[in-house]
Amino acid sequence: MDAKNLIACRVAQEMKNGDVVNLGIGLPTLIPDYLPEDVHITLQSENGFLGLGPLLGEPIPNLVNAGGKPCGMVPGTAFFDSAMSFAIIRGGHVDVTVLGGLQVDQEGNLANWMVPGKMVPGMGGAMDLVTGAKNVIVAMEHATKDGGAKILKRCSLPLTAARKVRSIVTELAVFRFIDGQLVLAEIAPGVTLEDIRARTEAEFVVSPQCCEMKLPK
């Protein structure tokens, strides 16, 4: 299993049956493949519906996910406009949002929408999702391609939202924000605490219950 699939697999274990979930584009879209059999979630798509499902067969006209890609829908789907979509998101009616990150810091700040002067795609729905969802999970590779830390003392890039991240899941570890403190909760198989310290700039405490990363057998 590569890093992305490992992360998606671990994040999938965070979902509870009945959760309403919004998945960012990229890595998070792999998560439904790894849900436990007894966990059924409802996927919210910020372009205007609840009931996103996998594409089965031919594309359906005007049915795309928030990445603009053809998708499917489950029985009991509901369509709505963008104001209602974000009333649902901002109003706390989404249980979990999973997004990628460029940087997360030890205060729970997330930066994932721009690199000034280089890449300015825009925040899309990310600021509202991170502000409004009950549980914000950042799912990302632990370090940059050239080995730099992404879990920092303080984000240097423009923030997506301040102090909203609840968990960080990487291919090396699971961190949680508990009482405003970054806590190492799980370590991936074959990884040492020293490996994590070496690739993490943020200050964190190791949970007394810190264990091996919980993955399905």
| Residue ranges binding another protein (CB under 8 A) | 18, 20, 40, 42, 44-51, 60-64, 66-68, 73-83, 85-93, 109, 117, 119-128, 131-132, 158-163
The CA distance from 141 to 171, in Å, is 6
Least spacing, CB of residue 200 vs another protein, in Å: 23
The CA distance from 101 to 123, in Å, is 12
Q: What is the largest CA-CA distance in the chain?
A: 52
User: Nearer Cβ to another protein, position 6 or 111?
Assistant: 111
Check: CB of residue 69 under 8 Å from CB of residue 29.
no
Q: How far is CA 32 from CA 23, 174, 185, in A?
A: 9, 19, 23
User: Nearer Cβ to another protein, position 29 or 85?
Assistant: 85
Least spacing, CB of residue 188 vs another protein, in Å: 31
Active-site residue identified among 46, 107, 186, 212:
46
46 is catalytic: yes
HSE-CB of 50 using CA atoms within 13 angstroms? 18
Least spacing, CB of residue 109 vs another protein, in Å: 8
The set of catalytic residues is 46
